[in-house]
Amino acid sequence: MRVLLVEDDDAVAESLTRGLSRYGFDVQWVRTGGEALLAEVGDVVLLDLGLPDVDGLDVCRELRARSDVPIIVISARADETDRVVGLEIGADDYVSKPFGVREVIARMRAVLRRVRPATAPAEEAPPGRLAIDRRARRVHVDGVEVALTPKEYDLLAFLAEAPGAAFTREQIMEAVWDANWFGPTKTLDVHVGALRRKLGDAVAVETVRGVGFRLVLR
């Protein structure tokens, strides 16, 4: 997934870029509103309001006029007026600084789940024999529904967000189970084994030695 990050604070941008990259996101970072308006918007925009050349609200308004790309405002401005104006002119969500990378990722996923049914229903599932209906939490292989447990579905949906990308065991446990999970990661292997059995040869949940797992579509 491609993310356009518009942020003039180097420390914040570098930290967020590193964090998003660890979760498989492809981040393009620009520092000014002018650069943002010239860049490819990708799949989602993270937009700071306090830019050095132009107000972030104006950038938000212009981006919305050009595209339906999801826009999440990230800003130190805590004033309710700024939040309301941002949402009214086209932002899909608003995150106040300071924030954690996992919170931003959760907001991104939530926004994409909301907007995809209206703007790109074909992207609800990755192409190929596997079909994932994220609204109904149902999975089909070659048109036949596959019964998955809630955690099996969550694991598959997470891996399917970036087919081919390798995720560490820690990333998967944090995203699918809980950031504060202290139990053994053997439960991850059990769920991976279950997915392999149930999905057959439609997809491959490959083990990346010393790292974790990746989903390969067929």
Q: Are 2-119 and 125-217 in the same CATH fold? A: no
- What is the value of pTM for the model shown? 0.58
Residue 126 has a pLDDT of: 47
In the predicted model, residues of the chain with pLDDT beneath 50 are 117-126
Looking at residue 29, its amino acid is: W
Residue 27 has a pLDDT of: 94
Residue 125 has a pLDDT of: 44
Q: According to DSSP H, which parts of 161-212 are helical?
A: 169-172, 186-199
For 165-178, what is each residue's pLDDT tens digit?
888 888 888 778 76
Fold of 2-119: Rossmann fold (3.40.50)
E strand segments, 101-217 = 130-133, 138-141, 144-146, 167-168, 203-208, 212-217
Q: Which two tokens stand for residue 86?
A: 């941002």
Residue 119 has a pLDDT of: 39
Q: In the chain, what are the domain boundaries?
A: 2-119, 125-217
Task: Give the closest residue to 20 by CA, choosing from 116, 108, 94.
Answer: 108
Residue 164 has a pLDDT of: 87
Backbone φ and ψ for 180, nearest 5 degrees, come out as -105, 20
For 111-120, what is each residue's pLDDT tens digit?
877 765 443 4
Q: What is the dihedral of CA 1, 207, 168, 188, to 10 degrees?
A: 110
What gap in Å lies between CA 168 and CA 21, rounded to an integer?
Answer: 12
Which contiguous run of DSSP H or E holds residue 2?
strand 2-6
Does the domain at 125-217 match CATH 1.10.10.10? Answer given as yes
